Structure 1
């Protein structure tokens, strides 16, 4: 099938046996379906529609296409049919899906499915299904709040890693920073003047780095022992990170803060995501798996939202990677509980919010 093809709903309704939370399994056919990474915007701003990655074949180097679906499981539609659809992200206004294809930045209309090429950078190594199964090759895209600038990271043909910057008016496209180890690239969401990225730890065990949006002044965030899973805490200009297992916690820190603030401890929080307003965090847990935890930043209280029952094994699609809808009412996550990777969404109960805020 091709871009713009609509499919029947695959939804299945469920109720979590331990928490009572109700949700929808959004995909069901026996293939690999992956929600976008937890710090990547997958939703339209009305929180009604989200996009996800889908392997087109049951093979290890399958082409990966992007689909959209409504939060009620209806409206399943294919958005891309390209040789590569890497680093996808939905524009802040919800009108476009942006993605990478062989160094080209492309965009597809979310409504009429027309496609444009925005810009091109030479020397970018193409990605496949294999690279979409790694956390730093084809999934780390972000945009400025006004949608004028797109950032991602990529592997160059020379083997180096790079941060790419494109303006969506097509006027600029270039590499702003290059190193031997770059992943998890994401611009600060309020003004996009700073880009954060993951780098190998230094002698002080700091592995989150910041660079200006023009590629100047690379410097580490003075927050050690992050486990590599982090994102900006809404528009607070602070970063929240899961800590290494021996610390079992989540910390937040701004560049000018003297010390990190510990938000939650007592679980091995694995991948955590922030709500748009920075007041809530959602995190999966592993080793042991105690479910997806909902955390209130102000009170530092947390409680299980649901249990994804995924294998939490090596493939990225077996990691829940939970994240919020823009309105903060839904949490979407991955699970391979059926034997194949599917995508699930639950609505956060009002009572649970009140309990954690109190």
Structure 2
């Protein structure tokens, strides 16, 4: 039940190749995962690590209390959308969708507040990837929350004012997935369109909806876009050829790295990325935005479901059903201080949360 505290489950391991310390944070024989790769897993102070656990039989919000190591259950609901979770920067709340409602839960009192009700809608598209995951976006100030809502043949982009509770639809179109507020501008939101036309931005008031990048040809696989802090620029994976950066002013998209990153997330300073890999799995790596070569961090040993990633771009002729359970993907993410990386791995047979110490100068 909410408010329950579980004894620490962590144990330290050593990566045999890098010799870095890898801490396994959860151990219960059930599914665990941290938020999606572009969503913070920690509050800014690094006092709580937010994750989802299925140990009660249903997905529920938990956090690791860093000072004690205790695992604290935050929710006890029937229909939590586990990839919708988004922690507030100050560590007070987590925002999430459940059923057809949008909720905020207080991490101290465990009080849940419904901020919006979307009525009789599907909420998410069918499937396991992209818009079907139901990810949401919170602005850097914590004031604005953007939620894609699938309703019949269209997707509505709903903006919630977390202070007043007011909500409104700012955009309607065929599909809206993976929203992300610019970390340096609460007025600018990145989102994913269709698989063949991925990278779009829109102003917070719904004006200025525009394509940020257009595919070069039918063979190019554009995916896993994310803001680069400190610059009005969007990094994306040109799978499996490397990592590129879109300049929003010019539209140019030069290469950042030719390393075959899969999910790549920047640190808070925008100086480097951490990524996982697939086809083949080379483990987790750090990609500096400098002349340095990418550096091996540790093995993830995750199963990383998704056979479609091993072939050519599969979506040119429309949606394709894929088996790609997201808790089998590492989705690495830096801690706020840049000294650790959190990732998920099902190496034990159940998806667990891990944290690897980077070491050296953060």
Please give the range of the TM-score, normalised by the shorter of the 2 chains.
Answer: 0.7 to 0.9
1:339-350 map, 5 Å: 339-350=349-360
Q: Cα distance, 1:218 vs. partner?
A: 1.6
**Structure 1 consecutive aligned stretches of length 4 or more whose deviation exceeds 4 Å:** none
Report which stretch shifted further, 66-75 or 189-198.
66-75
Q: Cα distance, 1:277 vs. partner?
A: 1.1
Q: What's the counterpart of residue 272 of structure 2?
A: 280
TM-score by length of structure 2 reads 0.86
SS in 2 for 1:285: coil
Match among 196, 218, 224 for residue 190 of structure 2: 196
1:77-226 map, 5 Å: 77-86=72-81, 87-125=84-122, 133-156=128-151, 158-201=152-195, 206-222=197-213, 224=215, 225-226=220-221
SS in 2 for 1:193: strand
- Name the count of aligned residue pairs: 338
Matched, 1:232 2:227: yes
CA distance in 1, matches of 2:162, 2:230: 22
CA distance in 1, matches of 2:137, 2:123: 19
Q: What's the counterpart of residue 356 of structure 1?
A: none
Do the aligned residues in 2 keep the contact of 1:152 with 1:186 (CA within 8 Å)? no
Match among 55, 58, 61 for residue 66 of structure 1: 61
**Deviation digits for residues 30-84 of structure 1, max 9, x if unmatched?**
11111100111221111231111122566xxxx3211101458812011111222
SS in 1 for 2:131: coil
Cα distance change of structure 1 residues 194 and 137 upon mapping to structure 2, 3 Å threshold:
same
Cα distance change of structure 1 residues 167 and 243 upon mapping to structure 2, 3 Å threshold:
same
Do the aligned residues in 1 keep the contact of 2:41 with 2:333 (CA within 8 Å)? no
**Deviation digits for residues 139-163 of structure 1, max 9, x if unmatched?**
422212221111122322x143232
Q: What's the counterpart of residue 30 of structure 2?
A: 31
Q: Cα distance, 1:134 vs. partner?
A: 3.8
Structure 2 residue ranges without an equivalent (≥5): 306-323
Cα distance change of structure 1 residues 73 and 126 upon mapping to structure 2, 3 Å threshold:
farther
**Deviation digits for residues 123-149 of structure 1, max 9, x if unmatched?**
443579x97x54434542221222111
Q: Cα distance, 1:111 vs. partner?
A: 2.1
Report which stretch shifted further, 172-181 or 284-293.
172-181
Structure 1 residue ranges without an equivalent (≥5): 354-358
CA distance in 1, matches of 2:121, 2:2: 24
Do the aligned residues in 1 keep the contact of 2:134 with 2:177 (CA within 8 Å)? no
SS in 1 for 2:270: coil
Cα distance change of structure 1 residues 199 and 346 upon mapping to structure 2, 3 Å threshold:
same
Do the aligned residues in 1 keep the contact of 2:283 with 2:298 (CA within 8 Å)? yes
Match among 242, 254, 257 for residue 249 of structure 1: 242
TM-score by length of structure 1 reads 0.87
